[in-house]
Amino acid sequence: MAATQDLSIFVRHGEGGVAGMELAVDGIHCAGCMHKIERGLARQSGVLSARVNLALKRVTVEWTEGALRPEAVIAGLQSLGFKAYPFLPAEARDADAQEDKRLLRCLGVAGFASMNIMLLSVSVWSGNGGEISPVTRDFFHWLSALIALPTAAYAGRPFFESAIRALRAGGVNMDVPITLGIVLTLGMSVVETWNHAENAYFDGVAMLLFFLLIGRYLDQLMRRRTRDLAGNLAALKAETATRLGTDGATVVVPIAAIAPGDLVLVRPGERVSVDGIVEGGSSEIDQSLVTGETAPVAISAKGRVHAGTLNLSGTLTVRVEAAGSGTLLDEIDRLMAQAVESRSRYVKLSDRAARLYAPLVHATALATFLGWVAFGLAWQQALIIAITVLIITCPCALGLAIPAVQVVAASALFKHKVMLKQGDALERLAEIDTVVFDKTGTLTLPEPSLANRKAIDPAILEAAGTLAAASRHPLARPLALAAGEPRPPEGVQEHHGLGLSAIVDGTEMRLGSVAFCGAEREAWAVSAACPTASLIAWRRGERCAVFAVDQELRPDARASMQELRALGLDIVILSGDRESAVAPLACELGIAAFKAGQRPDEKLAELDRLASAGRKVLMVGDGLNDAPALAKAYVSISPISATHLAQASADIVFLGDELAPVAASIRIARKARALMVENLWFAVLYNAVAVPIAIAGFATPLVAAIAMSGSSIIVTLNALRASRPVAAPSEQAP
């Protein structure tokens, strides 16, 4: 039965009677797909324009108001062969997008200014070496001033604002010496020009702004790329709920359109997508995504359900409610608030460098000034030399050192299917010595699968699979998948709470609980082999079989554990599931340290204990019960199948079914951190060479220009090394 869909919440209503919608499209590979979509959609009547963004794999469709329903657009894309998922019209994304644009505008202005001023400066430098009339030189200097002053006022704003914020808070960050340097140098250059001097440092200021803005923009770019990818994935995972109207009609709506007080229908096999109270029906629910507990829990009227739990056997009608106090969700909220507050304020490498850097630079400049005055030089000359020292030490390379490595490392991580949400997560990841894993959904695959497949005769599997394909029960789904999704037979009868039956070729075939199929003997053998599995039985005449459905370990779990141990890390399992489910798995993976039956606050307590023992912990988890621990840990990773809250609390998210991304991220993070430190040392080295030259009074604008651009280029080239593949310890040559 096709339920009606209502996607009107996604439609953006523009002026001129134009309605529009943005969708993430699955299956765009190349330009050919782009042509197909644009042409195909344009042919639909009512559609005004369809434009594909090939880089982001999205399409923006516009149509005359009222001519089309949004569902028709999605159906149109489906008929072209693409699955499309709409986005909510972007309000939250706007603030970040505005910041991106502002930074890019500042970068553009700084670029224009530095190139044009350099045009003039090179003329002056070569003229200074030969013959240049003072009138021409002054003319060029004044032109440079004309360009440099407005540029600094416009493009320097991000730095000025940041410096003022830091000073107001009573501290110093990297932007304070930058601001000081810019302001003093501009002032000094104008005074020098007024006095018809040979050297003016306008090009130095413009170039400094240009390189520093590149560093800022790279930082922003990395975060934007992650945001865009995350936005697409969020749309692809978009959850819907079936709203029950007062007239009994059902409409499928997106979660965003559900309000408290609505009545929602949850069929067997569906995931509950709202928090609420059950009004009708009774069923069993699987709470593993919320508490980690894999044993089903019975629920009936007046019981509370959480978003993320799986409805197993019966249809439920749920009245949507915001979480009340005393509920699991409320407790998790409380723990989250605590965790975020008490999380140790990690000082980023760049801030640590700034703390040393700023006072040192200011002290050096001051000492230079006083030194030269004591030496007998006129105070104006001494001031000029001191300001030159300030501008030469200005952190071009320092501003690029870390963002450049972060951007390259983030790209390398994307290739390994890892999304970095926080830039400084890379530095923290490099420092860890312990990894804490959750079990359900993290070490095991999020969806259950057939555990004893090898022991089953393929003919039986196929026969059972046909009947399983007719059921939505979560135990039947893996069976149908394993059999290759065959077509169900005609005339399947459902026996509530027991199973399915159908007459095939004259004999009755049954699929369901062990008792329904009379398969106790076989069941006993299978449950001895797979103690933690749920059993589903099949009978056809005399032949019967029992299938074990269990959450299997991720395909490379064992290999990943070995890799992590080879990297020198300790591994611990903290699970919300019962001991009998966790122990065999820990044994199989060779992990001695594990704790079962952990509530969210117990997981936090364990993390505290490890932290106070001086360990730096990486937390890997996916459930709602892991969210506080993910927020509290030194650094955290979650798989893409995790609940929204877990993904929001984690620093890093990885895609796919394998655990290999965890070890790969740690290797890349270590390399990236090494490169960041190298870059910082290089910046120090450059200063160590340049500062004495400046103090001695030999630094002309030419020297400053060469030093700044040279150091920035070297730092950037060094950062590119982060993208070279890092071999796993097992692959490295002995």
Question: What residues make contact with another protein under the rule CB under 8 A?
Answer: 31, 34-35, 39, 52-56, 101, 104-105, 108-109, 112, 115-116, 119, 133, 136, 139, 143, 147
Q: Which residues of 656-684 are buried (b: 16+ CB within 10 A; e: fewer)?
A: eebbbbbbbbbbbbbbbbebbbbbbebbe
Structure-token pair, residue 252? 């499928």
- Give residues with Cβ within 8 angstroms of 687, minimum separation 6: 392, 393
What's the min distance (Å) between Cβ of 194 and another protein? 20
Structure-token pair, residue 478? 């893996």
Helix (H/G/I), strand (E/B), else coil: 46? coil
- Only one residue has tokens 């992650």, namely 226
Which residues are tagged catalytic?
A: 438
What's the min distance (Å) between Cβ of 140 and another protein? 8
H or E stretch at 299: strand 297-299
Which residues share a beta bridge with 537?
512, 546
Cα separation, 648 vs 646, whole angstroms: 5
Instruction: Describe the crossing of helices 396-415 and 349-375 by its angle, rounded to 10 degrees.
Output: 160
Cα separation, 663 vs 677, whole angstroms: 21
User: Nearer to another protein by C-beta: 39 or 472?
Assistant: 39
User: Nearer to another protein by C-beta: 133 or 325?
Assistant: 133
What's the min distance (Å) between Cβ of 111 and another protein? 8
**Contact 377/632 with Cβ under 8 angstroms?**
no
DSSP type of residue 9: G
What's the min distance (Å) between Cβ of 55 and another protein? 5
State how far Cα 487 lies from the chain centre: 39
User: Nearer to another protein by C-beta: 54 or 256?
Assistant: 54
Helix (H/G/I), strand (E/B), else coil: 144? helix
Structure-token pair, residue 459? 């003919």
What's the min distance (Å) between Cβ of 96 and another protein? 13
Cα separation, 233 vs 227, whole angstroms: 10
> How many Cα atoms sit within 13 Å of 29 on the Cβ side?
3
User: Nearer to another protein by C-beta: 16 or 568?
Assistant: 16
What's the min distance (Å) between Cβ of 526 and another protein? 52
User: Nearer to another protein by C-beta: 69 or 227?
Assistant: 227
User: Nearer to another protein by C-beta: 51 or 355?
Assistant: 51
- Only one residue has tokens 């002056």, namely 124
User: Nearer to another protein by C-beta: 142 or 346?
Assistant: 142
Helix (H/G/I), strand (E/B), else coil: 227? helix
What's the min distance (Å) between Cβ of 26 and another protein? 17
What's the min distance (Å) between Cβ of 116 and another protein? 5
Cα separation, 526 vs 642, whole angstroms: 30
Phi, psi for residue 12 in degrees, rounded to 5: -100, 125
Mapped to the 3 state alphabet, what secondary structure does 344-396 carry?
CCCCCHHHHHHHHHHHHHHHHHHHHHHHHHHHCCCHHHHHHHHHHHHHHCCCH
- Give residues with Cβ within 8 angstroms of 300, minimum separation 6: 278, 281, 282, 283
Cα separation, 538 vs 461, whole angstroms: 10
Cα separation, 26 vs 236, whole angstroms: 8
User: Nearer to another protein by C-beta: 115 or 703?
Assistant: 115
What's the min distance (Å) between Cβ of 123 and another protein? 10
User: Nearer to another protein by C-beta: 37 or 683?
Assistant: 37
